[in-house]
Amino acid sequence: MTLPNKHHNNRPIDLSIVIPAYQEAGIIVQTLESLAQWLGTHDYGEVEIVVVVADSPDGTAGLVRSRSNRFKHFQLIEPGSRVGKGRDVRAGILHSNGRYRLFMDADLATPLKHLDDIYGLMRRNVEIGIAVRNLARIHPGLLRRVVSEFGNILAQIILLPGIRDTQCGFKVFRADVAEAVFRRLTILGWGFDLEVLSIARKLGYKIQTFEAPDWTDPKAHLDGLSNDSVIDAALQTFGDLIRVRLNLWRGAYRSPEK
């Protein structure tokens, strides 16, 4: 089910903000309120909010609907049963109407002030912009920190030289680039960032980075990930990395007409 986009004028959308929100009932209302307040005091042109909620028994979708009137342009997309974050981000990006399309995490781990960075990239007509975190300080546990840093080193060696953080959930794409890249996405879980950036590089698009040293994990204090979970996540991401590398060797991502 999709809650239709609301148009209050005929002006084109400048920026679509896509928020995947699987079982985020505990935070989604505050997130949308914070976003509405921020947009009320900052001018990024016409902004559309696109929230993607896979089947969430905690009532996330209903809470999102209750806040839809806080925005001039709004969509709620419900793609069905849970598949993965990559599927949800792809659905949101491809259903967006903006000249630029940003996806960000529902927990606001990347502070909203970095929307100013996004707007700066838009004004320069960049193709892709991604936030880069300080990996040495963002994870509280030694194992998570080592796994994160080692994973990004592997990603640079095998797929994406020069990009020292592939996994930050704050990335923006010009509309034509978003369409070309996300329609080729095959990894629908957590490793989708690796594939998105690799496809973009393969297609010849330029990736700009900007610093987000104030990124924080709102759930870090819960220490909810066991060592086994961290290792399982790392192995899954490594598997996705190898899968993308094989796809590149096989020529799976064909260049669009540009």
7: pLDDT strictly greater than 70: no
Please state the domain count of the chain.
2
The mean per-residue pLDDT over the stretch 126-139 comes to: 85
- Report the pLDDT value the prediction gives residue 258, as an integer from 0 to 100: 43
Please state which of the ranges 20-34, 104-118, 187-201, 208-222 shows the lowest mean pLDDT: 208-222
User: Is there a domain that residue 156 lies in?
Assistant: yes
5: pLDDT strictly greater than 90: no
Helix (H) or strand (E) holding 17: strand 15-20
In a shared domain, residues 145 and 252: yes
Please state which of the ranges 90-99, 143-152, 179-188, 216-225 shows the lowest mean pLDDT: 216-225
> Regarding predicted confidence, which is higher, 168 or 145?
168
31: pLDDT strictly greater than 70: yes
- Report the pLDDT value the prediction gives residue 46, as an integer from 0 to 100: 98
In a shared domain, residues 147 and 252: yes
> Regarding predicted confidence, which is higher, 141 or 152?
152
- Report the pLDDT value the prediction gives residue 233, as an integer from 0 to 100: 67
Q: Are 160 and 195 in contact (CB under 8 A)?
A: no
Q: How far apart are CA 190 and CA 217, in angstroms?
A: 16
Q: In this structure, what token pair is assigned to residue 182?
A: 């996300």
User: Is there a domain that residue 115 lies in?
Assistant: no
In a shared domain, residues 94 and 157: no
In a shared domain, residues 11 and 88: yes
The mean per-residue pLDDT over the stretch 141-168 comes to: 78
- Report the pLDDT value the prediction gives residue 221, as an integer from 0 to 100: 46
230: pLDDT strictly greater than 60: no
For the question of whether the overall pTM of this predicted structure is more than 0.85, the answer is yes
Q: What is the CATH number of the domain that holds 37?
A: 3.90.550.10
- Report the pLDDT value the prediction gives residue 220, as an integer from 0 to 100: 57
Range of the domain at 204: 137-167+175-258
- Report the pLDDT value the prediction gives residue 62, as an integer from 0 to 100: 98
Q: What confidence tier does 222 reach under pLDDT thresholds 50, 70, 90?
A: very low
User: Is there a domain that residue 128 lies in?
Assistant: no
User: Is there a domain that residue 114 lies in?
Assistant: no
- Report the pLDDT value the prediction gives residue 9, as an integer from 0 to 100: 58
User: Is there a domain that residue 97 lies in?
Assistant: yes
User: Is there a domain that residue 40 lies in?
Assistant: yes
> Regarding predicted confidence, which is higher, 11 or 194?
194
Q: What confidence tier does 190 reach under pLDDT thresholds 50, 70, 90?
A: confident
Q: In this structure, what token pair is assigned to residue 110?
A: 């990347």
Sheet holding 47-52, edge to edge: 2-3, 73-77, 47-52, 15-20, 100-104, 170-174, 128-132, 207-211
Please state, rounded to an integer, the average pLDDT across all residues of the chain: 88
